[in-house]
Amino acid sequence: MDIDPSQLPLDGIKRGGGWSVITGWGRALLSRRGKRLWRTLNHKSACLSCAWGTGGQNGGFRDELGEPLQRCIKSVEAIQSELQPAVPRHVFDRLSLGELQNFDSASCDRLGRLDRPLIHRAGQDFYEPIQWDEVYKRLADAFLASPPERVASYSSGRSSNEAAYLLQLLMRARGSNNLADCSDLCHAPSSVGLTRVFGSGTSNVSLESLRQADGVVLVGSNAPANHPRLMNELIRLRDRGGTVVVINPVVEGGLLKFGSPAFPIRSLLLGSEIASLFLQPIPGSDTAVFLGFQKAWLESGAIAWEFVKSHSDGWEALQEQLMSTSWESITQCCGLSREELEHTAARLASCRAVVFAWAMGITHHSNGTTNVQAIANSAVLSGNVGRPGTGTMPIRGHSNVQGFGSMGVSIRLREPMRLALEALLKRPLSRTPGYHARDLIEAADQGQVDALLCLGGNLYGANPDSNQARRALGQIDTVAYLARQRDRISAGNSGRETCSLDATDRGQPGFPDG
Instruction: Give the Cα separation of 514 and 337 in Å (integer).
Output: 30
Selection from 34, 74, 32 nearest residue 53 by Cα = 74
Instruction: Give the Cα separation of 219 and 374 in Å (integer).
Output: 12
The pLDDT of residue 342 is above 70: yes
Q: Any idea what the Cα angle at residue 328 is, between residues 324 and 333, rounded to 5°?
A: 100
What DSSP line would sit under 313-381, residue for residue?
A: SSHHHHHHHHHHS-HHHHHHHH---HHHHHHHHHHHHT-SSEEEEE-HHHHSSTTHHHHHHHHHHHHHH
Which pLDDT band, with edges at 50, 70 and 90, does 446 fall under?
very high
**H or E element: which one contains 108?**
helix 105-110
The pLDDT of residue 53 is above 70: no
pLDDT at 294: 98
Q: Distances from the Cα of 110 to the Cαs of 86, 263, 375, in angstroms?
A: 10, 32, 40
Question: Distance between terminal CA atoms of the chain?
Answer: 35
Strand partners, 498: 120, 479
Give yes or no for a contact between 282 and 1, defined as CB atoms under 8 angstroms apart.
Answer: no
Burial class (CB in 10 A: 0-12, 13-18, 19+), 89: exposed
pLDDT at 513: 33
pLDDT at 503: 37
The model's pTM: 0.85
**H or E element: which one contains 485?**
none
Q: What is the DSSP letter of 255?
A: G
Strands 277-279 and 478-482: unpaired
Instruction: Give the Cα separation of 241 and 429 in Å (integer).
Output: 54
pLDDT at 512: 36
pLDDT at 33: 87
SS (H, E, C) 29-98: HCCCCHHHHHHHHCCCCCCCCCCCCCCHHHCCCCCCCCCCCCCCHHHHHHHHHHCCCECCCCHHHHCCHH
Which pLDDT band, with edges at 50, 70 and 90, does 324 fall under?
very high
- 327 alpha-carbon distance from chain centroid: 33
Give the model confidence (pLDDT) of 112-138 as tens digits.
888 889 999 988 999 999 999 999 999
Q: Distances from the Cα of 478 to the Cαs of 57, 95, 466, in angstroms?
A: 40, 21, 19
Give the model confidence (pLDDT) of 210-254 as tens digits.
999 999 999 999 999 888 889 999 999 999 999 999 999 999 999
